[in-house]
Amino acid sequence: MAGNRDSKSLLNGTLSRRAALKGFGAAAGLALAPGYVRYAQAQSSAPIKIGFQAHRTGIGAAYGRWYEKTTTAAVKAINDAGGIGGRPIEIVVEDDGTDPKRGAEVVGKFATQHKTDIVYGTLFSHVVIGSAPTAGELKIPYYVVSEGHHVASTKLNRYVFQPGITDVKSQIQAMAPWVASNVGKKVTMIFPDFAFGHDHRDYLPPALKAQGAEVIAQIAIPPTESSFTKYFPQIPAETEVIYHVMVGPAVLTFVKELGEFYGSNRPQLFGFIDSLEAVDINSPGLEFLDGSHFWEGSPRYAQENDSEAQKAYRAAVGIDDNGAAVGDPKDVSTAAHMFGCWETLYVIKKAMEDAGYKGPEDRAKLVEATEALTKFDEGPEHPQGDKIFNGKIHQCFGHQNISKVEGGKLKVVHRTSIEEGLYEPEGDYTTMPL
Amino acid sequence: MAFFPHLLLATLEGLVTSAVLALTALGLSLVFGVMRVVNVAHGEFFMLGAVLAWAITTALGGHPAIGFLLALVVSPLIVGTVALVAERLVLRRLNYNPEATIVATIGMLYIIQQAALTLYGPDARPVEPPFSYRILLPWFGYSGYKLSIVAASILLLLATWFVLTRTKIGLIMRATQYDRETAQAFGIPVDRVYAGVFALGAMLAAVAAVLVVPISQAHYLMGLDPLLLSFIVVIIGGLGSLRGTVVAAVLIGLSDGIISVFFSPTLAKMIATLLVALVLVFRPQGLFGTAAR
Amino acid sequence: MNRPVTLPIYALHAAVIVLLFLLQFILPDFHHGVLARVMVLAVFAMGYNLLFGYAGLLSLGHAMFFSAGLYGAGLAVEHFGFGMLPAFGAGLVAGGLLGLVIGLLALRTSGVAFMIVTMMFAQVFYLVTLYFADWTHGDEGFVIAQPLRQIAIGSLHFDLTQPTTRYMTAFLLFSIVLIVTLFIVRSAHGRVLVAIRENEERTRMLGYDAFANKLAAVIVSAVICAAAGAAYAILFGYVGSTFASVQYSILPLLWVLLGGAATTLGPLLGTLFMYYVVDITSGFISAYLFIVGLALILLVLFFPKGILGTIRDRWLGWLP
């Protein structure tokens, strides 16, 4: 605030001093005007620089590539429509190698070297958590698209936001009622033995219990594992549903081995599409998944009742009806998550315009403006659906989709309400100092 | 599931792991044994073999078995060529200095990984097995292809053993391993032996990768785990000992699977790793090696 | 070996320390931040160098010592509410104890077996950080909140989240470790280590206890690496299991080999060089790993003893 006022008065001061120096009165004013207008224009049309922390290498690269494509598409759409408050967006990309140490360094580089206005776009939870302290110290707003519960846990800091994608705790809570009443009551969970899996391990059992279903076994697979058959005997025979959330490149093996183990005589399956993001659902060995259900943030396959906004979004990003890159059916997107990039950029636009954002001196105002947001309407800016935003925990909440694998496609069979995913806030960022 | 079938399954799984591991580790062990250098890029040759298998089968189309068999021949040849070029361009100029070789092969690791990422992409891609036959046991189903990996691995190991012990090439390699200077004095082209061994080591890794890729998938970061495990196998087995390498591979493959029957998986991994480390601590020369140098 | 030339050695190290001190006043923000990080990481490399360069023990498991410090400090804050200085101390103790245990076990082996054993212990450590995720938050890790990262000594108050304080803290740590390293390598103990590296058998026959000397080296190396880890936790506020993974065991080896093994200043040079190679090349092309790989190979082809090692061989034989 103060900085902003200073720079304005400085500007005025310069002008009046120059005017006085020339001593020409109105004529001088006219003579000066074009120059001043040009300057003002240059100021107002200088691009807004957004630092995009991208997983170009490392384990997150498959996601990172699609996050970049979506970001490019969204920025083009925003810029074509006049940018943010008349200023175009310029994206500066830095690779974080999907590593928390490099992630923090990259945030520092954005703030002090590239001098971007904000930082945006991180997916992997450990990179978000590793980078958050640096963002907080440098007081640079940091908008992540990660779906982790870290932001909403209020353990990070006031400069970190997740306004474009629902967090995993909310997702699980929203799905549980449908799973309990439509898939089965006795659930065995198979999950990777690290943070993403632990979120499911911790949040699913209470959510199911509230619906009269129960988790009868939890099988945590070590993150270094590349074959899974030896763990399957631990699945109790009375299991009605296997709830699986494996991630990473070994997931295909997981499904194939599950298929070999059970053959056609299998329990019901419910999984998070995270398992198969960027993987063709018709890959050899995945026939086994036919008839099983998946959570999807945004549907991979075009649905019959898709909104115009959804169609426009898919066309802009360049994915076909099967969720693969236009022109390359083998290049499957990460559709269930990457919509978050698109929506986050529009949230940034909205918040910057609300804040009257001029430059880095307005960052605190931008934080407050983002916190003041409460809901996002479905439309071209939010093609996945409407959302509500809780400024106290910096987290948005939207609808979740449950899709069934039918004839080699994912068909949405249920869409949860926003209310099903709401939970008591665990803290309040707005009470922290800026 | 009852205890016995569970144990049976763990054993079968352990055998498959062992089979692949034995081949991969054998490649590293040869390089280690003969050239006395640590090839950190060994896992990347493994990865390259798998990625090439995907490329070949995809380009060919048709029945999966045709593409697979072609990949089994062509992929190791390409990988061997890459290794040969790397050896000529870099390792030979370093005079096989152990430390310099480690750094140089770390450099190769980055280069190969980046090449795979740029040309092949970050996605994990599957390769169809040449045949898919599901063996139905009373308690569970099991992949017939997995068992054929074990058979293929045994054949390849026997072939390697034959070459090493019963042919002139093998004799030359063993002579070089035993004493480089004397071998040179007796007119053995040590320089060319080294190049051949380095390429052969990489090819073994590539063969293992082609075998394993239908039951896992090709991914540009898949090289790290085989590298670490091969290291462990080579050391436990004793430097350059074929028998030791195989026994160690079976030991490690089985222990990992069977311990996981009794403990939670991550805990099992911890215990297995710790046990193997302690074996090494109290028997540093490995199970079959002569005193370490 | 050259006879020790005392004056230029002290002058050189003093000059480096003064230079690092002065740099903070002229460096732009970005490079100022980079140098603070690099100094902390260089401490990690110096700890590694002590064992690898001077004692000739190639460990592939030093990530466990770095993360022992990282977690020792981080968990002490997270679960026991330690202040920053006691937490740093807890990190050092954790590193020292781990060094003692690992040293007692791993030193029964040598050569390649030592590499593998250290690597496997480090892998176990990594799995431990994942397995006890209720405590460690596993791979996701946890943040040490900004308000906690303050030090108050009497009426003096230091905010470790401020760039200037952070730079000075990193600088202090680096200088102390540099001086300690210099002292060690020029001491009798340091010379015994070099003797062990060159010929352990003969050293033993001369009446030195090789095992005790090596064990001491492992412990000191572990404590220095833990100091870097603990400093990383309290200066940059993040603790996570990534730092215990195998790549963080390879990094110090790389830095040391680049800068020059068994040179006191090599680790700093190597760390600095690697940092900027990655940073600059990643700005030009997305395939920066390719450039890094190529740089490594070229360096090792043309500067096989690292930057300082080559300089020492060609021009400055007295470099410690």
pLDDT tens per residue, range C156-177: 889 999 999 999 999 999 999 9
Structural domain boundaries, residue C15: 6-246
Residue C114 has pLDDT above 50, yes or no: yes
Q: Chain A within 8 Å of C188 (Cβ-Cβ)?
A: no
Cα–Cα distances in Å, from A229 out to A251, B5, B142?
A: 12, 12, 9
The DSSP bridge partners found for residue C156 are C153
Question: Which tokens in the block code for residue C85?
Answer: 């200085």
Whether C253 is covered by a domain: the verdict is: no
Number of domains in chain B: 1
Whether B49 is covered by a domain: the verdict is: yes
Residue A298 has pLDDT above 90, yes or no: yes
SS3 sequence, chain C? Answer: CCCCCHHHHHHHHHHHHHHHHHHHHHCCHHHHHHHHHHHHHHHHHHHHHHHHHHCCCCCCCCHHHHHHHHHHHHHHHHHHCCCHHHHHHHHHHHHHHHHHHHHHHHCCCCHHHHHHHHHHHHHHHHHHHHHCHHHHCCCCCEECCHHHCEEEECCEEEECCCHHHHHHHHHHHHHHHHHHHHHHHHCHHHHHHHHHHHCHHHHHHCCCCHHHHHHHHHHHHHHHHHHHHHHHHHHHCEECHHHHCCHHHHHHHHHHHHHCCCCCCHHHHHHHHHHHHHHHHHHHCCCHHHHHHHHHHHHHHHCCCHHHHHHHHHCCCCCC
Q: Least CB-CB distance to A260: which of B122, B141, B257?
A: B141
**Residue B257 and residue B269 in contact, taking contact as beta carbons nearer than 8 Å:** no
**Residue C100 and residue C256 in contact, taking contact as beta carbons nearer than 8 Å:** no
Residue B93 has pLDDT above 70, yes or no: yes
The total number of residues written for chain A in this structure: 434
Main-chain phi, psi angles of A293, to 5 degrees: -115, 150
Main-chain phi, psi angles of A245, to 5 degrees: -135, 40
Whole-number Å distance between alpha carbons of A29 and A22: 10
pLDDT band at B288 (very low <50, low <70, confident <90, very high): low
Mean pLDDT of C109-136: 88
**Residue B240 and residue B32 in contact, taking contact as beta carbons nearer than 8 Å:** yes
Whether C276 is covered by a domain: the verdict is: no
Question: Which tokens in the block code for residue A285?
Answer: 């060995």
Q: What pairing do the DSSP bridges indicate for beta strands A268-272 and A293-296?
A: parallel
pLDDT tens digits, A209-219: 999 999 999 99
Contacts of C112 in chain B (CB under 8 A): 32, 38, 235, 239, 292
Q: Least CB-CB distance to B111: which of C119, C121, C293?
A: C293
pLDDT at position C4: 55
Residue A37 has pLDDT above 70, yes or no: no
The contacts found for A332-335 with CB under 8 angstroms, 24 or more apart, are A332/A278, A332/A279, A332/A280, A332/A300, A332/B123, A333/A66, A333/A69, A333/A278, A333/A300, A334/A62, A334/A63, A334/A66, A334/A67, A334/A277, A334/A278, A335/A277, A335/A296, A335/A298, A335/A299, A335/A300
Higher pLDDT, C319 or A129: A129
pLDDT at position A44: 67
Please indicate whether, in this complex, the C-beta atoms of B106 and C250 are within 8 angstroms of each other.
Answer: yes
Please indicate whether, in this complex, the C-beta atoms of B110 and C254 are within 8 angstroms of each other.
Answer: no
Whether B8 is covered by a domain: the verdict is: no
Percent of chain A with pLDDT over 70: 90
pLDDT band at B273 (very low <50, low <70, confident <90, very high): confident
Q: Chain A within 8 Å of C135 (Cβ-Cβ)?
A: no
Please indicate whether, in this complex, the C-beta atoms of C243 and A101 are within 8 angstroms of each other.
Answer: yes
Whole-number Å distance between alpha carbons of C278 and C2: 36
Q: Chain A within 8 Å of C65 (Cβ-Cβ)?
A: no
Q: Chain B within 8 Å of A36 (Cβ-Cβ)?
A: no
pLDDT tens digits, B206-233: 999 999 998 888 888 888 888 888 888 8
Contacts of C257 in chain B (CB under 8 A): 99, 102-103
Whether B12 is covered by a domain: the verdict is: no
Q: How does DSSP assign chain B, residue by residue?
A: --HHHHHHHHHHHHHHHHHHHHHHHHHHHHIIIII----TTHHHHHHHHHHHHHHHHHHH-SSHHHHHHHHHHHHHHHHHHHHHHHIIIIITTTTT-HHHHHHHHHHHHHHHHHHHHHHH-SS-B----S---EEE-SS-EEEHHHHHHHHHHHHHHHHHHHHHHHSHHHHHHHHHHH-HHHHHHTT--HHHHHHHHHHHHHHHHHHHHHHHTTTS-B-TTTTHHHHHHHHHHHHHH-TT-HHHHHHHHHHHHHHHHHHHHHS-HHHHHHHHHHHHHHHHHHSTT-SS--S--
Residue A32 has pLDDT above 50, yes or no: no
Task: For residue A42, count other CB atoms closer than 10 A to its CB.
Answer: 9
Give A406 to chain B, closest Cα distance, Å. Answer: 21
- What residues contact C178, with CB distance under 8 A and at least 6 apart? C13, C16, C17, C46, C264, C265, C268
Q: Chain A within 8 Å of C288 (Cβ-Cβ)?
A: yes
Contacts of B225 in chain C (CB under 8 A): none
Neighbours of chain B (3+ CB pairs under 8 A): A, C
**From A153, which residue of chain C is nearest by alpha-carbon distance?**
C142
Residues 188-247 of C with CB under 8 A from B: 246
- What residues contact A88, with CB distance under 8 A and at least 6 apart? A45, A47, A48, A79
Instruction: Single out the residue of A135, A130, A124, A133 nearest to residue A51, CA to CA.
Output: A135
**Residue A312 and residue A383 in contact, taking contact as beta carbons nearer than 8 Å:** yes
**Residue B222 and residue B46 in contact, taking contact as beta carbons nearer than 8 Å:** yes
Whether C178 is covered by a domain: the verdict is: yes
Amino acid symbol at A287: E
Whether C21 is covered by a domain: the verdict is: yes
Average pLDDT, chain C: 91
Residue C201 has pLDDT above 70, yes or no: yes
Whole-number Å distance between alpha carbons of B263 and B258: 9
pLDDT band at B242 (very low <50, low <70, confident <90, very high): confident
Contacts of A223 in chain C (CB under 8 A): 130, 139
Structural domain boundaries, residue B107: 20-222
Q: Least CB-CB distance to B106: which of C110, C116, C296?
A: C296
pLDDT tens digits, B10-59: 888 889 989 999 999 999 988 888 888 888 899 999 999 999 999 999 89
pLDDT at position A31: 43
**Residue A187 and residue A207 in contact, taking contact as beta carbons nearer than 8 Å:** no
**Residue B177 and residue B18 in contact, taking contact as beta carbons nearer than 8 Å:** no
A18 HSE (CA, 13 A, CB side): 14
Task: For residue C69, count other CB atoms closer than 10 A to its CB.
Answer: 34
Q: Least CB-CB distance to A222: which of B12, B13, B269?
A: B269
Whole-number Å distance between alpha carbons of A350 and A372: 11
What is the end-to-end Cα distance of chain C in Å, rounded?
11
pLDDT band at A12 (very low <50, low <70, confident <90, very high): very low
Task: For residue A91, count other CB atoms closer than 10 A to its CB.
Answer: 20
The DSSP bridge partners found for residue A382 are A379
Whether C236 is covered by a domain: the verdict is: yes
Where does residue C194 rank: exposed (0-12), middle (13-18), buried (19+ CB within 10 A)? middle
Q: How does DSSP assign A202-227, residue by residue?
A: HHHHHHHHTTT-EEEEEEEEPTT---
Q: What pairing do the DSSP bridges indicate for beta strands A395-398 and A387-390?
A: antiparallel
The whole-angstrom distance between residue A177's C-alpha and the CA centroid of its chain comes to: 24
Whole-number Å distance between alpha carbons of C268 and C260: 10
- What residues contact A330, with CB distance under 8 A and at least 6 apart? A280, A324
Residue C251 has pLDDT above 80, yes or no: yes
Number of domains in chain C: 1
Whole-number Å distance between alpha carbons of A204 and A199: 8
pLDDT band at B96 (very low <50, low <70, confident <90, very high): confident
Main-chain phi, psi angles of A160, to 5 degrees: -105, 130
pLDDT tens digits, B168-206: 888 888 888 888 888 888 888 888 899 999 999 999 999
Whether B137 is covered by a domain: the verdict is: yes
pLDDT at position A25: 43
Whether B155 is covered by a domain: the verdict is: yes
Whole-number Å distance between alpha carbons of C196 and C190: 10
Instruction: Report CA torsion sign: C149, C151, C152, C158.
Output: negative
pLDDT tens digits, B127-158: 888 988 888 888 888 888 999 999 999 999 99
Pick the residue of A112, A124, A144 with the most C CBs within 10 A to test the interface with C by mutation.
A112
Residue C103 has pLDDT above 90, yes or no: yes
Please indicate whether, in this complex, the C-beta atoms of B124 and A252 are within 8 angstroms of each other.
Answer: yes
pLDDT at position A5: 36
pLDDT at position C238: 96
Instruction: Single out the residue of A431, A425, A399 nearest to residue A152, CA to CA.
Output: A425
Query: What domains are defined for chain A?
Result: 2-45 (no CATH), 48-166+338-397 (3.40.50.2300), 169-296+401-415 (3.40.50.2300)
Whether B286 is covered by a domain: the verdict is: no
Percent of chain C with pLDDT over 90: 65
Whole-number Å distance between alpha carbons of B37 and C155: 58
The whole-angstrom distance between residue A357's C-alpha and the CA centroid of its chain comes to: 23
Q: Chain A within 8 Å of B14 (Cβ-Cβ)?
A: yes
DSSP category for residue A81? T
Cα Rg of chain A, angstroms: 24
